[in-house]
Amino acid sequence: MTVYGVIGVGAISAAIVRGLCRTDQADPPPTVLLSPRNAQLAAELAEHFPTVRVAESNQQVVDGASVLLLCLRPQDAPPVLSALTFRPGLPVVSVMAGFTVRALADLVAPVTDLARSIPLPAVELGEGVTPVFPSSPAAITLFGQLGTVLEVPDEQTLEALSASTATVAAMLKYMETTSAWLARKGVSAPLASRYVAAVFAGVLTPLQTAAAVDFRALSQDHQTPGGINEQFLGVLEQAGLSRAVEGGLNQVLERLDPSQNHGSADGNLPVS
Ligand SMILES: NC(=O)C1=CN([C@@H]2O[C@H](COP(=O)(O)OP(=O)(O)OC[C@H]3O[C@@H](n4cnc5c(N)ncnc54)[C@H](OP(=O)(O)O)[C@@H]3O)[C@@H](O)[C@H]2O)C=CC1
């Protein structure tokens, strides 16, 4: 029986735990051992799910786990992990952005069964699409229970996919701006937000299970020649939309993976 040990109980690990313990699965939920910090969230999870327990220390999590999940913020990981002792055969799955396999291997030595992953909050509903590199049986089993696993071919691909997830808050800000604009035009705030969410969900929900999506064609399909979508996109492109998105992505990737030269003269944002 798998015992998932979790170091770092926060937003993403709570989503993973809730996903593992959701009731629509055929198999009974696994045992989960949580690190004690963020005591309130850990206690909430343990109270809600009978197979979840809170350990007394991070070392107790490592010792009691048959698979260890590393879910710390990047700045916390080096001091926390270097204070722990790991056994060689322990499978470790990291969700932490910006730690290469090599850097992780140093932090959890002598562990060799290491996988990196990019779970997103949809894992809570069992609808995650989770890139994994390197692939490991532990990572495939874990994220297979939480949706679909994408085994990516190399670490650069994983870093690029990770960078692309940085665009989500900006997309939500864009929706917030649209919703707030509607409210300023006299639409009630609940109706405004509900409508904006429904417009985007209507476009995006059918794409969720697609093997590939032609976003350019989709964008064109939504632009009647001479129509309002074409007009609005034109205004944003004139303001530098695509260039700003590419420049932001280059900067994020540079931060995640400084060993590679990711920028391009056209794609980088102005420094000021
Ligand atoms: N949120 C997301 O959607 C995703 C996050 N990630 C990655 O997951 C990692 C965690 O992100 P997220 O869940 O958002 O972060 P959170 O801040 O929500 O969670 C991190 C948790 O680690 C705890 N922590 C800090 N120090 C220790 C310690 N010494 N021992 C045990 N726990 C400790 C923090 O406690 P306290 O608050 O008390 O400091 C906090 O509860 C990051 O590396 C991020 O890159 C990856 C994919 C998606």
Residue 91 maps to which CATH number?
3.40.50.720
Residue tagged 């699409």 (tokens):
129
Mean pLDDT, rounded, of the chain: 94
Token pair of 174, please?
């864009």
Tell which wins on pLDDT, 26 or 183.
183
Alpha carbon nearest to ligand 1 atom 12, residue = 11
Q: What separation in Å is there between the alpha carbon of 123 and the centre of ligand 1?
A: 16
Tell which wins on pLDDT, 258 or 135.
135
pLDDT, mean of residues 244-260: 92
114 and 165 belong to one structural domain? no
Which conformational region is residue 38 in: left (phi greater than 0), alpha (psi within -120 to 50 degrees), or beta? Answer: left
135 and 174 belong to one structural domain? no
> Could you tell me if the ipTM is greater than 0.95?
yes
Strands (E), 8-135: 31-34, 52-54, 67-70, 92-94, 114-117, 128-133
pLDDT classification of 262: cutoffs 50, 70, 90: low
Domain region containing 162: 158-258
Token pair of 157, please?
């691909």
25 and 144 belong to one structural domain? yes
Instruction: Check residue 263 and give its pLDDT.
Output: 54
Alpha carbon nearest to ligand 1 atom 31, residue = 8
165 and 125 belong to one structural domain? no
| Least reliable range by pLDDT among 213-222, 239-248, 261-270 | 261-270
What's the pLDDT tens digit per position in 75-104? 999 999 999 999 999 999 999 998 999 999
| DSSP code of residue 268 | S
Query: Does the residue 86 lie in any domain?
Result: yes
Alpha carbon nearest to ligand 1 atom 7, residue = 96
Q: What separation in Å is there between the alpha carbon of 68 and the centre of ligand 1?
A: 15
Alpha carbon nearest to ligand 1 atom 2, residue = 12
| DSSP code of residue 153 | S
Token pair of 59, please?
């070392």
pLDDT > 70? residue 265: no
The answer to whether 58 is a known ligand-binding residue is yes
Order of strands across the sheet that contains 114-117: 52-54, 31-34, 3-7, 67-70, 92-94, 114-117, 128-133, 147-151
147 and 163 belong to one structural domain? no
The ligand 1 atom nearest the CA atom of 96: 43
13 and 122 belong to one structural domain? yes
User: Residue 242: CB partners within 8 Å, gap ≥ 6?
Assistant: none
Residue 58 CB–ligand 1 contact under 6 Å: yes
Which conformational region is residue 32 in: left (phi greater than 0), alpha (psi within -120 to 50 degrees), or beta? Answer: beta
